[in-house]
Amino acid sequence: MITHLEREIAEQPDVLSRLLRAETANIAAIAGAIKAANPRFVVIVARGSSDNAARYAQYALGALGDLYVGLATPSLTTIYDTTPNLAGALVIGISQSGHSLEPVRVLETARELGAALTLSITNDAESPLAKVADHHIALHAGPEQSLAATKTYTAQLMAIALLVGHLGAPDGWQAQIERVPGWVAQTLDMNRATRAAADRYTFMSHCVTLARGFNYCTGFELAIKLKELTYVVAEAYSSADFHHGPKAIVEPGFPLIAIAPQGKTLDTMTESIAAFEANGADIAIISNVHGLLERARLTLPIPAEVPEWLSPLVAVVPGQLLALGLSEARGIKVDQPRGLNKVTYTE
């Protein structure tokens, strides 16, 4: 019997196409409102996979939209009951369910604290988070029944990419973004062997994911998928941070998954991968760079034409398949991972 997880991974091309059709006009209008409000900076409040979508926004809005984007520390609001000055900020809440208490609390007080505008991104357009913001983007992903977020994560990235398109992506961005559903379908196809190949990691107890820049989010998202679906202690690193201490943990056979597609971070990622190779690490690589993929024990390819700014929407897919395959190799029932509830009411 097909699991929810497997079905929802496969649904992603359709979900992304639907989102493009349904929300392009709304997002263009929201981008107009953002330009008119001229925010000083952006604060995003999110947890779990949605927080990884926020990381994508940090780089995409920062590099292309000329906006400083910070991640919120929601416990300042919910536990310390303090009121950091949000004068002139665009405050964005991202939540699959829209029922998490933290983003709702932060967004409902943001305007009082001076925020220029609030925006929420949820899959449930009737949720409290959808209602509390000035503007709302719905994901149109359909019910996500797997406890692990897959289609709602790539849909969150698509919503952000559309926003970034209007706020400063290079010419031709619309044509590029229209191709994403096809690239995701192609990636699923190129990685048909990945699910079975995960078998070699059956007894892995821990690993590191390595990425930088736009795909820093992909490293975090892959780590969270591995933890929740396979119980492997996976930690995400920026290749820059990894040189400040933690690289001491790399010994021969140490498992590394690098996310290194074509783009401005390719040189620094290639250098980091070489340092891991020198220490005898066991390396898997998600990339569209042929010469780099050849150096991996496990190659996780994505299409060659994917531009860097959209690559996180595609590069996460081989990681999802790897986590799915490894959960099967380890005999874990992915639709009922232990100790997890779909909606987390964090206070």
| Residue 334 CB, nearest approach to a second copy (Å) | 11
> x/- binding map, residues 67-106, to a second copy, per CB under 8 A?
xxxxx-xxxx--xx-xxxxxxxx------------x----
Give the pairing of strands 117-122 and 135-138: parallel
77-83's contacts with Cβ under 8 Å and 24+ in sequence apart are 77/102, 77/105, 77/106, 77/109, 78/102, 78/105, 78/106, 78/346, 78/347, 79/347, 83/109, 83/113
Is residue 107 at the binding interface for a second copy, with CB under 8 A as the rule?
no
Q: Contact 335/3 with Cβ under 8 angstroms?
A: yes
Q: Is 210 helix (H, G, I), strand (E, B) or coil?
A: strand
Residue number, 202 or 346, with CB nearest to a second copy: 346
The one-character DSSP state at 310 is G
Is residue 294 at the binding interface for a second copy, with CB under 8 A as the rule?
no
Residue number, 169 or 190, with CB nearest to a second copy: 169
Strand partners of residue 120 = 93, 136
Q: From residue 136, give the alpha-carbon distance in Å to each of 113, 123, 129, 169, 316.
A: 20, 10, 9, 21, 25
Is residue 59 at the binding interface for a second copy, with CB under 8 A as the rule?
yes
Is residue 47 at the binding interface for a second copy, with CB under 8 A as the rule?
yes
Residue in 64, 129, 222, 259 binding a second copy, rule: CB under 8 A: 64
Residue number, 46 or 130, with CB nearest to a second copy: 46
Q: List, as one string, the DSSP characters of 149-195.
A: -SHHHHHHHHHHHHHHHHHHPPTTHHHHHHTHHHHHHHHHHHTTTHH
Q: Contact 295/285 with Cβ under 8 angstroms?
A: yes
The Cα 22–Cα 238 span in angstroms is 35
The Cα 68–Cα 246 span in angstroms is 28
Q: Contact 252/278 with Cβ under 8 angstroms?
A: no
Cα–chain center distance at 108: 25
Task: Give the chain's largest Cα–Cα span.
Answer: 55
Residue number, 25 or 205, with CB nearest to a second copy: 205
User: Where in 262-281 is the site for a second copy (CB under 8 A)?
Assistant: 264-265, 268, 279
Stretch that binds a second copy, among 11-19, 191-199, 310-318, 335-343 (CB under 8 A): 335-343
Residue number, 17 or 218, with CB nearest to a second copy: 218
| Residue 339 CB, nearest approach to a second copy (Å) | 5
User: Where in 132-151 is the site for a second copy (CB under 8 A)?
Assistant: 148
| Residue 215 CB, nearest approach to a second copy (Å) | 11
Residue number, 190 or 323, with CB nearest to a second copy: 323
Residue in 12, 17, 49, 215 binding a second copy, rule: CB under 8 A: 49
Phi first, then psi, for residue 95 (nearest 5°) are: -155, 130
Residue in 12, 17, 58, 150 binding a second copy, rule: CB under 8 A: 58
Residue number, 22 or 113, with CB nearest to a second copy: 113
User: Where in 186-245 is the site for a second copy (CB under 8 A)?
Assistant: 205-206, 208, 212-213, 216, 224, 227-229, 231-233, 235, 238, 240-241, 243-245
Residue in 25, 112, 331, 338 binding a second copy, rule: CB under 8 A: 338
Number of residues that bind a second copy (CB under 8 A): 71
| Residue 256 CB, nearest approach to a second copy (Å) | 12
